[in-house]
C-alpha cells in the first residue's frame, strides 16, 4: 500500500506544482504576433509585451494531455522539425547542459500560457485572479489565433518550428505555481491588482483559446471554454458581439452560431449595452460595473456589421438598427480594411445617394489607405460604411421625434431621405393611435401598455415590447378567427415573419369575441373602431374582461383598459 508523502499532497497536486518550474523546463513555447494583432494593441505597450512572452513547459506533460503535442515532440513530426531547423538555429557557448526545445506557434503569449496552465492543472484558475466575483476575468487577455488556414490536427508539422537553445531564455517564476507576466512585460500588471481586466477581453481570450484547444485536440478544454462563454453571454448579452467578432477571425462556426443566436434573442441588450438598466422591464441583466463589461455593436468588425444589424431573423426595430450604426461609428476601434470598403461600396452602389442630392454623407472622402483607429481617416471610413448601410433603413417606421434626433445629431442620412421620412410621418400623424393598458395578469410579462400597430383580419392589433424566457419579443393583442368560424381575442407572441393566429404563436390568454362587441354588460372597451375604418358590430373592441388561460398563461387573468386617440409620437 502506498504511503502519502509527509506534506500530504496528491499526485495531481504534485503535477500542478511543476507549472512554471524552471529546473524541469525542457521546452519553451514561442508566440507569434502578426501585424494585425500588434496594430490592435499598439497603444498598450505592456500588453504587447505580454502577448510576446515565451511560455516554459515540460514536454512529457504536454504530450500526455495532447496527442498533437505527442506527435510533435516524440513522433515523426519531431525528426522532421529537428532536421529542418537545427541548422538554422543559433547555439550559445554555455548550452552544453540543460538544452531545451523552442517551439514557435502561431498564437499569442496569453493563450499559450493558459494552454500550458490547463495541461498542468486541468483548470484555468488564472482567469479568476483579480476578480472578486464569480465572473471569468483575466489580466487584459485579448488575443486571437492568427493562422486561420491551418487544417486542425492534420498539418501540425507545417505550423510549428522546433529549435534548440539554452534554458536562460526560459521565463519562469519559481515560487509561484500560477503563470505571471515576466520582466519583459509591463511590471504594473504584477503589482496593480486594481487594473482589473474587462469581461470583453476575457471573452476574446476564451474564444481564441477555444481554437487552440481544438487544434491541439484537448476536448475537455474545448468543453470548459464553451460552458464559460455560454455563461458569460447569458449574463451579459453584449459580449455575444465580442465572441462573434473573435470567433469569425478563427473561423469557429460553433461559437459564431451560439453568439449570433444570443444576439437574435436579445438584440437591444446585445447590440446597445448602455441601454441595460436594473430598473428596465425589457433589459433585466444585472451589471455591477458597466465599465467592466463593454462589448456590443462597437465590438464588431465592418465585415460583420451588416450581417448582424440587418439580420432577417432579428426582431430589432429600425430605430435600434440606426442607433447601432451610430454607436458603431462612435465606438468601433477595428481598423477598416480596404477590401471591406470596396466590397460594401460595390454591393450597395445603387443605394448610395448621388452627389446631386447635396448629401452630407457624400462630403466624406473615400479613403485610399488603411489608417490607425484614432485617425480622422479612420472615422471617415467608418462613417461612410455606416452611411451606406443606413440606406437600407425604412425611416417611415421611426417615430418623428427620433427622426428629429437623427437630423440634428447624425450625418449618416441625406436631407432628401429625411424629408421623405418626415413626409410619411406627417401622413401617419393624421391618424391617431389607441393604446390598451393590460394589468393584473398572473404572468407579469403580459402587463403593460400595448400600442396600436398593424392590422389582422381588418382589425387593429396592439403591440408591446418585452422579454419572454430571456428573448426580446413583441407581445400582441389581436383578433383571431379559428377554423370552426369562432372568433377570439388573443394575447400572444407571434414569431417574426409569421401570421398571427397560427400554431406557431405562443398563446397566453384569450377571450371570445362576444365580450368585445360593445354590448353585453359593458364588458368591452367601448364602441367599434368605425372612425378608424375598423370592422362593424363592435368586432374591433378589445374586451376588458372575460379572459381565460391558454397554454402559457398563469392566473389570475388580465384586465384591459383603452386609452383612445393617442398621437403616434
Q: Where are the domains of the chain?
A: 11-224, 332-430, 433-566
Positions in the chain whose pLDDT score sits under 70: 1-8, 34-50, 76-98, 128-197, 275-292, 338-375, 405-410, 425-432, 514-540, 564-569
- Structure confidence at residue 84 (pLDDT): 46
Q: 3-class secondary structure for 415-433?
A: HHHHHHHHHHHHHHHCCCE
- Structure confidence at residue 285 (pLDDT): 36
Grid cell, residue 223, equals 468543453
**First-residue to last-residue Cα distance in the chain:** 82
Q: What are phi and psi of 312, to 5 degrees?
A: -65, -25
- Structure confidence at residue 563 (pLDDT): 80
- pTM metric for this prediction: 0.70
- Structure confidence at residue 409 (pLDDT): 63
- Structure confidence at residue 172 (pLDDT): 35
The 10s digit of each residue's pLDDT in 507-527 is: 999 999 864 443 333 344 544
Residue 92, Cβ density class (10 Å: 0-12 exposed, 13-18 middle, ≥19 buried) = exposed
- Structure confidence at residue 153 (pLDDT): 41
- Structure confidence at residue 199 (pLDDT): 82
- Structure confidence at residue 380 (pLDDT): 86
Q: Is the dihedral of CA 479, 434, 528, 508 positive or negative?
A: positive
- Structure confidence at residue 283 (pLDDT): 33
Topology adopted by domain 11-224: Potassium Channel Kv1.1; Chain A (3.30.710)
Sequence-distant (6+) residues with CB within 8 A of 203 are 229, 232, 233, 239, 242, 243, 246, 295
Sequence-distant (6+) residues with CB within 8 A of 513 are 479, 486, 487, 488, 489, 539
- Structure confidence at residue 13 (pLDDT): 86
Locate the DSSP E strands across 161-247: 161-166
In the DSSP assignment, the letter for residue 5 is P
Locate the DSSP E strands across 106-254: 161-166
Bridge partners of 433, per DSSP, are 566
The rounded distance, in Å, linking the Cα atoms of 163 and 103 is: 7
- Structure confidence at residue 336 (pLDDT): 78
Distances (CA, A) of 501 to 124, 245, 456, 469, 507: 50, 38, 9, 21, 9
Residue 279, Cβ density class (10 Å: 0-12 exposed, 13-18 middle, ≥19 buried) = exposed
- Structure confidence at residue 139 (pLDDT): 34
- Structure confidence at residue 148 (pLDDT): 39
Q: Is the dihedral of CA 27, 33, 34, 37 positive or negative?
A: positive
The 10s digit of each residue's pLDDT in 22-80 is: 889 999 999 987 655 544 444 444 444 467 789 999 999 999 999 999 999 987 666 45
- Structure confidence at residue 80 (pLDDT): 54
Amino acid at each position: 500500500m502506498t504511503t502519502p508523502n509527509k506534506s500530504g499532497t496528491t499526485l495531481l497536486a504534485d503535477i500542478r506544482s511543476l507549472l512554471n518550474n524552471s529546473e524541469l523546463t525542457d521546452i519553451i513555447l514561442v508566440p507569434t504576433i502578426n501585424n494585425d494583432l500588434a496594430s490592435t494593441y499598439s497603444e498598450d505597450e505592456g500588453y504587447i509585451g505580454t502577448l510576446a512572452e515565451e511560455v516554459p513547459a515540460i514536454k512529457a506533460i504536454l504530450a500526455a494531455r495532447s496527442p498533437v503535442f505527442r506527435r510533435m515532440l516524440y513522433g515523426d513530426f519531431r525528426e522532421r522539425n529537428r532536421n529542418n531547423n537545427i541548422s538554422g538555429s543559433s547555439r550559445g557557448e554555455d548550452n552544453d547542459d540543460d538544452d531545451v526545445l523552442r517551439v514557435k506557434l502561431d498564437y499569442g503569449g496569453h493563450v499559450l500560457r493558459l494552454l500550458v496552465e490547463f495541461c498542468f492543472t486541468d483548470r484555468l484558475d488564472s482567469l479568476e485572479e483579480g476578480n472578486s466575483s464569480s465572473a471569468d476575468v483575466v489580466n487584459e487577455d485579448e488575443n486571437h489565433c492568427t493562422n486561420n488556414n491551418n487544417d486542425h490536427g492534420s498539418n501540425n508539422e507545417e505550423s510549428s518550428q522546433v529549435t534548440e537553445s539554452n534554458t536562460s531564455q526560459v521565463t519562469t517564476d519559481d515560487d509561484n505555481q500560477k503563470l505571471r507576466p515576466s520582466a519583459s512585460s509591463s511590471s504594473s500588471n504584477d503589482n496593480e491588482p486594481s487594473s482589473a481586466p474587462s469581461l470583453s477581453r476575457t471573452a476574446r481570450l476564451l474564444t481564441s483559446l477555444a481554437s487552440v484547444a481544438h487544434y491541439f485536440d484537448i476536448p475537455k478544454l474545448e468543453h470548459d471554454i464553451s460552458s464559460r462563454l455560454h455563461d458569460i453571454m447569458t449574463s451579459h448579452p453584449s459580449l455575444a458581439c465580442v465572441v462573434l467578432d473573435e470567433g469569425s477571425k478563427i473561423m469557429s462556426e460553433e461559437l459564431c452560431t451560439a453568439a449570433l443566436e444570443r444576439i437574435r434573442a436579445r438584440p437591444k441588450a446585445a447590440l446597445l449595452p448602455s441601454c441595460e438598466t436594473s430598473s428596465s422591464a425589457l433589459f433585466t441583466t444585472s451589471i455591477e460595473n458597466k465599465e467592466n463589461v463593454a462589448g456590443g455593436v462597437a465590438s464588431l468588425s465592418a465585415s460583420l456589421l451588416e450581417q448582424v444589424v440587418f439580420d432577417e431573423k432579428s426582431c430589432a426595430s429600425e430605430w435600434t438598427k440606426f442607433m447601432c450604426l451610430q454607436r458603431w461609428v462612435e465606438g468601433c476601434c477595428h481598423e477598416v480594411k480596404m477590401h471591406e470598403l470596396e466590397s460594401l461600396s460595390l454591393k450597395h452602389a445603387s443605394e448610395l445617394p448621388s452627389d446631386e442630392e447635396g448629401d452630407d454623407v457624400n462630403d466624406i472622402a473615400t479613403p485610399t489607405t488603411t489608417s490607425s483607429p484614432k485617425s480622422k481617416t479612420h472615422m471617415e471610413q467608418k462613417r461612410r460604411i455606416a452611411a451606406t448601410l443606413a440606406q437600407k433603413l425604412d425611416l417611415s417606421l421611426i417615430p418623428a421625434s427620433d427622426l428629429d434626433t437623427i437630423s440634428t445629431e447624425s450625418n449618416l442620412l441625406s436631407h432628401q431621405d429625411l424629408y421623405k421620412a418626415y413626409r410619411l410621418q406627417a401622413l401617419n400623424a393624421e391618424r391617431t393611435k389607441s393604446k390598451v393598458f393590460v394589468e393584473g395578469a398572473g404572468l407579469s410579462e403580459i402587463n403593460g401598455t400595448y400600442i396600436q400597430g398593424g392590422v389582422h383580419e381588418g382589425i387593429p392589433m396592439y403591440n408591446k415590447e418585452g422579454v419572454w424566457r430571456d428573448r426580446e419579443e413583441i407581445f400582441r393583442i389581436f383578433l383571431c378567427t379559428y377554423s370552426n368560424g369562432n372568433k377570439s381575442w388573443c394575447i400572444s407572441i407571434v414569431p417574426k415573419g409569421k401570421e398571427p393566429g397560427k400554431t406557431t404563436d405562443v398563446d397566453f390568454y384569450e377571450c371570445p369575441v362576444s365580450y368585445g362587441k360593445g354590448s353585453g354588460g359593458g364588458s368591452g372597451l367601448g364602441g367599434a373602431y368605425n372612425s378608424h375604418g375598423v370592422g362593424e358590430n363592435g368586432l374591433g373592441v378589445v374586451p376588458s374582461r372575460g379572459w381565460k388561460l391558454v397554454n402559457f398563461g398563469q392566473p389570475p387573468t388580465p384586465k384591459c383598459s383603452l386609452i383612445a386617440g393617442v398621437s403616434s409620437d
